[in-house]
Structure 1
Amino acid sequence: MLDQTKQLPMGVGVGYKSKHFSNISEGKHPVKWLEIHAENYMGEKGAAGGRPMAQLRALSDRFPISVHGVGLSIGGEGRLDPDHLARLKHLIDEISPTSFSEHLAWSTHDTGPHSGYFNDLLPLPYTAKTLARVCDHIDEVQSTLGRQMLLENPSSYLAFAESTYGEVEFLRAVVKRTGCGLLLDVNNVFVSANNLRIDAYDYIDAFPHEAVGEIHLGGHDEDQDEDGTPLLIDNHGREVADPVWHLYTYALATAGPKPTLIEWDTDVPEWEVLASEAARAALRLEQVLA
């Protein structure tokens, strides 16, 4: 049986960065929980040590922790890396987080002269073959960890002609087959909708909100493709854009309140800026709860 008993508190979390340790530990702020990237705390044989791990243990005594993986390559064609999965399990066992999540993407390639790990979360065609592979990988992760995981919807920059499922339909099928939960990244929805010319609000309407255990909000950059068409890049490097706040408000009104994370992973600002973003999300959650 998968452990589905733990739930994040109904409030706002932030992605933890060590520069904010004192602010989080000592200050009064709207943050109710914290997220870490698993790979930042995984040593060669298990959980890393030293000051970062000591700080994490101290924070985990006061805050629920969500562990967010970026390196399992759930959609990869090869098998999951057993060493990576073992080190992840060691970390999960060490800190006993409230939640674990990963991405619907692939980031490894195990054939040819360029095999290895890519520092990107790459898209997948939504086919029956992909569905079977993703579900097999999720089953392995959940069986190894002994807990339910959440799967995050990706940010997309292209669509595959071979896809036979829509993205929401694909995610719904994964949940049905594996019993996993979902992580709804609202910024990813907005980015994908712009890049693929679909309606973000229709996507939110169709999403299986009953499976959502967590929402993510983050920033994106604006660019152009070679034809001059607007292209949005999910980079977690700035404040949440106003249209994404509107889409988040709509998601809450559609599905009810969900634990919400502010992601800011590059060009990390001073604490006051990050706390201000968290407060904006907290206000919207409070309005829905009221």
Structure 2
Amino acid sequence: MASFSHLVVLDFEATCDEREPPDPQEIIELPSVLLDGATLEVLDEFETFVRPVHHPTLTSFCTALTSITQADVDAAPPFPAALEAHLAWLRSHGLPTEGDALPWAFVTCGDWDLRTMLPAQLATAGFDHVPAPHRRWINVKVPFRRWDGKMRRAGMARMLEALGLELEGRHHRGIDDCRNIAKIVRALVARHQPMEITAELPASRYPPLPLVLEREGERAEIVLGKRALPSLLGAASGAFRAQATRAFHGDGPLDDAGLRELRSGALVRVE
């Protein structure tokens, strides 16, 4: 069985084109399927389309691939409101959305959704942080490869076929993909493959963070590109032309975990 109270299957759809995606690429569908961690029963579903801001007109290729229409996204909320609605839905089911040791986890098909697309969307939308639940996840391809070591590059459709399952709905429609990924989860757990965290968001993938540094009464403003203490101390050493070896925020020392929680404009004291 899963080692979490709940599993939340997540599969974004984003603006796309036949050759290269628009830059910046933006999320246009945010769906989820909520599973009971013990029984893997489907408890609820969530879906919202998302209105792209930088490239508001969908390409014909994107609509053909996903079935998402221009009318769907035109009537949808922008990303910040869609994300908050999703977080509120999670909380409505008793799933906490703050803290380090969350009792539930996201499940994705690959690492793209939470390692690449979400951080890029957050930065594009002006966020200075990544919500706690989105910082680690279960890539269902990892337990699948444990079960079938010969199929190293299987996508969702091939995993379903290998497990003797039918692809239901439309591939590349986010909510349908979530439902199919949930079926893969159940099939793998039935084959004694545990659902465990497989990836965490690298420090370099967090949105840029403007900070105010203070040292011996002097202040300097920086934009931290990597949420890691060595990067902060290196930037501080350059800003004050003197080696910095420690950092503090509020009443205590600052470490990598603390850096992930800082918001834009935070005051950091260095020594």
Question: Is the shorter-chain TM-score for this pair beyond 0.5, marking a shared fold?
Answer: no
TM-score, normalised with respect to structure 1:
0.24
The structure with more radius of gyration = 2
